[in-house]
Structure 1
Amino acid sequence: MSTTSEAVPVEIITARDVPLGGPRAMTVHRTLPQRRRSLIGAWCFCDHYGPDHVAATGGMDVAPHPHTGLQTVTWLFTGEIRHDDAQDVHAVVRPGEVNLMTAGAGTCHSEVSTEETDILHGVQLWTVLPEDARHGPRRFDHHVPDTVSFDGGEALVFLGSLLGETSPVHTFTPLVGAEIRLDPGASVDLVVDPGFEHGVLVDTGRITLEGTPVARTEIGYAGTGASTLHLVNTGDLQARLILLGGE
């Protein structure tokens, strides 16, 4: 797919390494929030982790903790996480399945990698709720998106709309979230909402966004005004990306 669009400037958001848990804690690469940029649309938090050898680090072991006024979005590439919350929801998060918890006026949950998990790899995301929803009811959504193929790759759209696919998961502001896999040497022009700002997190591969290289664990940020985002895999291996966007 190819369309013509004036390129928007790309800002590189680098990650800082943060230990998650105790002395044998796994390390996460945190790109949001930062002083220079705290939000991409309503996306307010992005932790990228793995591939993490659970036997060496203990994996994910996040004790019960509270949230209010936001949604937590868990997306995995490898491994499993057990989610338990105060709404009496007990779920196992698996690769390619999105779990979204709406905290609303307040809830509590824990996240622990399962005993069957050898390698843990994925992203933990949050969205901030608007004022008219932040004190509302709690809820939990689970969705398994279909794979959408395009020339040069494929995608899993877990929130919002992209590539002709729309997720049924409810959000309280317009958002998009998708895993994109781009073949070696391939390029794609993603048709996007020009009212959105977007971030492209690189998990694997060598990528350029609008001609700007974006390294692994970095986010390439593009502000509003773009009707397409031009991505190129300049490497010889498949690239995997997370696209985040919102108004």
Structure 2
Amino acid sequence: MSNTEVAPQEILCEADGSRVGLELLAPRQVPLGGPRAMDVRRTLPQRQRSLIGAWCFLDHYGPDRVGDSGGMKVPRHPHTGLQTVSWLFTGEIEHRDSAGFHAAVRPGEVNLMTAGRGISHSEFSTPATTVLHGAQLWVALPDSARHMAPTFEHFRPEPVNGIGWIMRVFLGTLSGSVSPVTTHTPLLGAELLLEAGAELTLETEAAFEHGLLVDSGSLVLDGHPVPKDSLAYVPAGHRSLTLAAGDDGARVLLIGGEPLGEKIVMWWNFVGRSHEEIVAYRAQWQAEIGAAEVSAEGAADGAGPASWAAATAAAGGGADLRFGPFPAGEPAALPAPALPNARLRPRG
């Protein structure tokens, strides 16, 4: 998913050990497009907390009737230095990327795209989808992995059942359930469904920070009520978490991981380490989509190269495209927003 804000701010992401105890992060509404756009509820990043482990972005959406909201329509856009994690409760999304992967995102199945040095992808809800409901998360890659080749993984976790609860672990390890999906820092991601009045105590890694998003119902975490759509942050040092559902049950997403231990500047859809890197990523993306437009126009009138990779090479950009190539006939790519007038500086 793209960050479609027209004036995104640069964000310094770093572990913040100054706070102890549970912290509640309220969501903010962000539209994904025009006047009939689907809204998402963003709980990461925020000024007071930009990372939970290596998790750096969390958008939560729905349930939305596609006939009213228009569904998800996110044309091709770029990413660097991160992994995207797609998790649905209802509906279906078509994913297509420049590494050659074409997949469906379905409920109970995790799709993880590793951008590495650079990738571009699109996401559209399918015509058969009537209600769309789920979450999109990003994971910041450590310096040791952020220049790797882009790739994609898909996994359907087997549900783990207990008295009054169901668990699906899509990243990492929890309660004996293990996900084979590749991560580059120690991480955890799981969906938990609790029946009315159910209580569940989870043994957790003391080295992990944790975040718990309440999707539906009502929940008390370690004795503290967590409002619906809010993200509860629990600092490292806790060896267990106790979840208690209210009379309407609860569905929650649990994320966690060891603190990243690195400062990262995040602006729009790019994760980098400096102002210069972000500026270079944006310039290269604009050059590549500009070459694509020239190629498409030339192919239409028979006067230009049939492939925009060839167009970029002809323009002196070479065939090694950071964000491409991409299949022909797709909707126009999203241009990058304008950079701030001032130098991108770390904030936090």
Give TM-score scaled by structure 1 length.
0.95
Q: Distance in 2 between matches of 1:174 and 1:150?
A: 25
Superposed, which structure 2 residues align to 1:140-155 within 5 Å? Answer: 140-155=152-167
Question: Which residue pairs with 1:184 in the alignment?
Answer: 196
Q: Name whichever structure is richer in strand by fraction.
A: 1
1:226 aligned counterpart, secondary structure: coil
Question: Which residue pairs with 1:4 in the alignment?
Answer: none
1:184 aligned counterpart, secondary structure: coil
Shift of 1:176: 0.2
Instruction: List runs of 5+ in structure 1 lacking aligned partners.
Output: 1-7
Instruction: List runs of 5+ in structure 2 lacking aligned partners.
Output: 1-19, 259-348
- Does residue 1:79 correspond to 2:91, yes or no? yes
Shift of 1:243: 0.1
User: What amino acid is aligned across from residue 33 of structure 1 in structure 2?
Assistant: P
Shift of 1:172: 0.3
Superposed, which structure 2 residues align to 1:1-247 within 5 Å? Answer: 9-233=21-245, 235-247=246-258
CA RMSD of aligned residues (A): 0.8
Shift of 1:87: 0.9
Shift of 1:237: 2.2
Q: Distance in 2 between matches of 1:180 and 1:230?
A: 12
User: What amino acid is aligned across from residue 121 of structure 1 in structure 2?
Assistant: H
Shift of 1:22: 1.5
2:107 aligned counterpart, secondary structure: coil
Shift of 1:238: 2.5
Identity %: 58
Shift of 1:152: 2.3
User: What amino acid is aligned across from residue 241 of structure 1 in structure 2?
Assistant: V
Shift of 1:150: 1.9
Q: Distance in 1 between matches of 2:228 and 2:30?
A: 16
Shift of 1:9: 1.8
1:55 aligned counterpart, secondary structure: helix
Q: Distance in 1 between matches of 2:199 and 2:173?
A: 20
Shift of 1:137: 1.1
Give TM-score scaled by structure 2 length.
0.68
Q: Distance in 2 between matches of 1:224 and 1:192?
A: 10
The answer to whether the Cα contact below 8 Å between 2:198 and 2:249 also exists between their aligned partners in 1 is no
Q: How many residues align?
A: 239
Shift of 1:149: 1.0
Q: Distance in 2 between matches of 1:68 and 1:179?
A: 27
User: What amino acid is aligned across from residue 184 of structure 1 in structure 2?
Assistant: A
User: What amino acid is aligned across from residue 88 of structure 2 in structure 1?
Assistant: L
Q: Distance in 2 between matches of 1:143 and 1:186?
A: 28
Q: Distance in 2 between matches of 1:212 and 1:9?
A: 11
2:247 aligned counterpart, secondary structure: coil
Which digits, 9 at most, give the CA deviation of each residue in 1:30-69, with x for residues without a partner?
A: 0000000000000000000000010011000001000000
Q: Name whichever structure is richer in helix by fraction.
A: 2
Q: Distance in 1 between matches of 2:129 and 2:117?
A: 33
Q: Distance in 1 between matches of 2:119 and 2:202?
A: 36
